[in-house]
Amino acid sequence: MPQDTTHTDGWAEPTPTAVLVLEDGTVLQGYGIGAVGEAAGEVCFNTAMTGYQEILTDPSYAGQIITFTFPHIGNVGVNDEDVETVNAAAASGVRGVVMAAPITDPSSWRASRDLDAWLKARGIAGITGVDTRALTALIRDHGMPNAIIVHDPNGAFDLEDLKARAKHLPSMAGLDLVPLVAATQRFEWDETPWELGRGYGRRAEATHHVVAIDFGVKRNILRLLANAGCRVTVVPPTATVEEILALEPDGVFLSNGPGDPAATGEYAVPTIRAILERKVPTFGICLGHQMLGLAIGAKTKKMMQGHHGANHPVKDKTTGKVEIVSMNHGFAVDTDTLPASAQETHVSLFDGSNCGIALADAPAFSVQYHPEASPGPRDSHYLFDRFVSLMGTKEPAA
C-alpha cells in the first residue's frame, strides 16, 4: 500500500498513485482515477467548460489523452443519454484523462452514476492533482507530446522504463485510427435529437436518403441528419463507390473521425473522388472535411496544438457572420494547397486556419468544426439545412 509522507506540522501527504510521463522525460505526479493500469497516447488539451462526457466518448479522440483546462470535471456525473460513440465495440476513443481537481459527488438530476465508476467501467485511466495550466502552456509552446499515463494504487512506478517507452511512442502523423472506432457493417439510423421531457425521438418520414460514411461518427450528427428529414444509412469507411451508389443515395455524408487524414485517405479518398465525379451531393465534417480536401488535391498538415474546445470563433466568409463552435482536430487542410475549384468558406478567428470549403465543380461542401455540438447554441445548424437544399426538393417518403 502507498505510504504517506508526514510533514513537520503533522499533516500526511498521500503518496501519488498515478503519473503522466511525457516523451521529453517530464514526470507529472498525481492521484489515480478510473481504471487501474496504463495507457499511451498523444496529449491534447480541451478548453470546454461543459460536456465532458460527450468529449470522452467522441471517437475523434482515439489515440489521445485529454487534459481538461476546466478544473471541475465530473461534477454532474454521467448518464446513458450523453454518449456520443456509436460503435459499442469501440467503447471509447480516448485513452486517458488528466484533471486538476478530484472528482466530486455528482450533482445533477440526469446523473445515473459518478464519473470515476464510469471511467473504470470503460477502461479509461486518469490522473488528478496535476497543474493543468502548466501542462497546457507546455503544449501551446512545444506541441502535443506523446505520453504514458499510469494508475497504480500502490504507487509503484518504474519511471526510467516509462520515460524510455514514452520517448519512442509513434507520432500521430501517419496513423490510421479509423478502424478502431468505425462501424464494420451497414446499419440504419432514425433517432432524432433530445428534448426536455421527451428524450430522443424517431424520424417519422424522410424526404431524402443519405449514406453516411463512418470514420468515427458521433451520434448527434446522425440525429441532426434524421431531424432534417433524412433517411440515414451508415456504411463502413471501407465501403466502395459501387456499394454506396447501389443504395441510391440522394446525398453522401463524410463523418468525423480520428488520426491522420492522409493515412485514412489511402483507401477512402478514391471512393470520395468517385462520388464527386458522379455529382452526388456531399457534406463533410471534421475528418470528413479533411478527406474532401484530399480528394480534390489539397494537402493536410499536422497542427502544433490543434483545436479542442467549445468556444472557438469561426467566420463564415460567405455571410460575414461569426459562429461559436465546437472543435476537435489535430490536423487541418492547408489553405495554400486548395485548388481553384474550391472556395474557402470558413476560417478560424484564432489562428486563420481553414475551417470550411465549397466546390465550384461539384455539389459538395464541408466544415472543420462540429455543427451538431451546439455551443453557440445553434449557430451552425443551418449547415444541415444547406445539405438538404443541395439534395433538392423531393416528396416525403416513408
Residue 286 is a catalytic residue: yes
Helices (H) and strands (E) in the chain, counts: 9, 21
Q: Angle at the Cα of 278 (from 274 to 284), degrees rounded to 5?
A: 65
Structure-block grid coordinates of residue 109: 438530476
The span from the CA of 391 to the CA of 206, in Å, is 13
126's grid cell: 486518469
Cell numbers representing residue 77 in the block: 456525473
Cell of 332: 487541418
**By the 8 A CB rule, do 59 and 29 touch?**
no
Q: Which residue in the list 289, 308, 346, 370 is annotated as catalytic? A: 370
Cα 226 to the chain's mean position, in Å? 20
Report the length, in residues, of the chain.
Answer: 398
- In sequence order, the 6+-apart residues with CB closer than 8 A to the CB of 39 are 65, 95, 96, 124, 125, 148, 149
Residue 44 annotated among the catalytic residues of the structure? no
What is the gyration radius of the CA atoms in the chain, in angstroms?
A: 22
| Dihedral sign of CA atoms 324, 252, 201, 80 in order | negative
Strand 342-348 and strand 300-316: pairing? antiparallel
Is 370 an annotated catalytic residue? yes
Catalytic residue of the set 151, 286, 289, 323:
286
Looking at the annotation, which residues are catalytic? 286, 370, 372
